[in-house]
Structure 1
Amino acid sequence: MQIKDKVVILTGGANGIGAALARRLVSEGARVIIGDIDRKAGQELITELNQNNKVNAIFIFCDVTNFDHLSQLFDTAQNTFGGVDIVFNNAGIGQENEFYDQTNRWIKIIDVNLNAVIKGTQLGIQYLKKRGGGVIINTASMSAFYPVSYSPIYSTTKRAVVGFTQSLRDLKDTDKIRVNAVAPSYFESNLTQELLKSKEYGQAAKNFGFVPIDDVIAAFIRIIQDDKLAGDTIAVTTRYKSKIISKSSL
């Protein structure tokens, strides 16, 4: 699929990978509905993206655990741009030792990282069918394949995202909808900057190294453009920029 003139839903789009994706997509002629809980960053981003009185991007406050908020992204795309072609279920959160801190923070991690991906995919299928097909891309993580002891819930959600994505492989044949995922290693983001303050996370990041965010964005773009990819996950690490993981894990 080409990117020019396509309409994109992008959750977690105000910072990090999401913001970088939004810039790349708009630069290639797409129109983007950005959902995020960071109002300030979201508004600043669309001011940057909407130049010369042209509406290339719309920001909507969106807590992805609120399914009414998610639905609003799709309704806005339909009403403003006539439909949806590409969906990025990108929003995600994490916390060190979330399983051991005796709070219910881990439930929120599952809600954001997994349940919202499932609901976003359901909505995506509903709207993409109206266009005769399209692309859904879920943000996973290399922690899906190399679980980390200090964030077991986070690793679980990302492993589940990979399995969920693989399970939807046949949508390519039945509805012309390709569902894929990107699993990056450590990269610069607000989340990693916060977690780097911890000793365990910092050491793990040092061991694995950081991947350039441009490599991560390139993996997302590859999935859009390569019509053969369906149910696949692209791993992005310092060892290989773009490795396709299909039915089996590493």
Structure 2
Amino acid sequence: MTSDVEGAPYDPELMAAVADLGEALRGLVDASVRTTVPAAELHEVAAVVRAARERLAVSTRPATRLPVLDDPVVFRRVYNPVSGVGSALAPPVLFRSATADGVDGAVIARTSFGLAYEGPPGFLHGGMSGLVMDQALGAAAIRAGLWGMTARLELDYRRPVPLDTPVLLRARVTEHAGRKAVVTGTIAPASAPDTPLVEARGLFVLPREELRAAYFAEITDASGRHAPPSRPTDATAPSGTGA
């Protein structure tokens, strides 16, 4: 068994298999939007994919049950749509301490977006920018020892984000008081990190105890035991100490 720092142990073989399938699925999604093969070939591949789906659907979990590999305490979320290694949707993005790269701020990540995330031809869909920046801002709040659920997310689209191009994500907490935290961040070309393409500002609020109890009343761990989160479960813990 393997464990993250202070996290629950997990099966490393299962983790490797989930990551392997996630990588394969992301490759399939990317190939599916780039391919120019004829219709007959597409039908044949579709049949193969449906057969694979049937094999996976033999054993499934309800939405209220956490995956066996997840551990919200250390923010291990293997199917997170931005950072999950097992997600077919995720780029995936790995956030880490910004100071580890000598860049001011709380968290930083480098990634690129393929054709599966296209909005305007050749550029990133604006909604994907919102998804990724929500994740980045949440990760920065966690890095600062804060957390909450997104109460407001504002984005300014300065320039379109090009596809198949390395970009830099940065985010940091700028204000916090009581149950509220304000976090700001940017998406910029990796080659020009001080020229933002997208600017984001988010308000994160820790729900009152009675609301948290209501929101997560049906959430269980993989064994079926009630497991309401006491910390956020939709962001990735940045690596590095920042020291």
- Answer 1 or 2: higher relative contact order, Cα 8 Å, separation at least 6: 2
Larger Rg: 2
Structure with higher helix content: 1
Superposition TM-score, scaled by structure 2 size: 0.26
Superposition TM-score, scaled by structure 1 size: 0.26
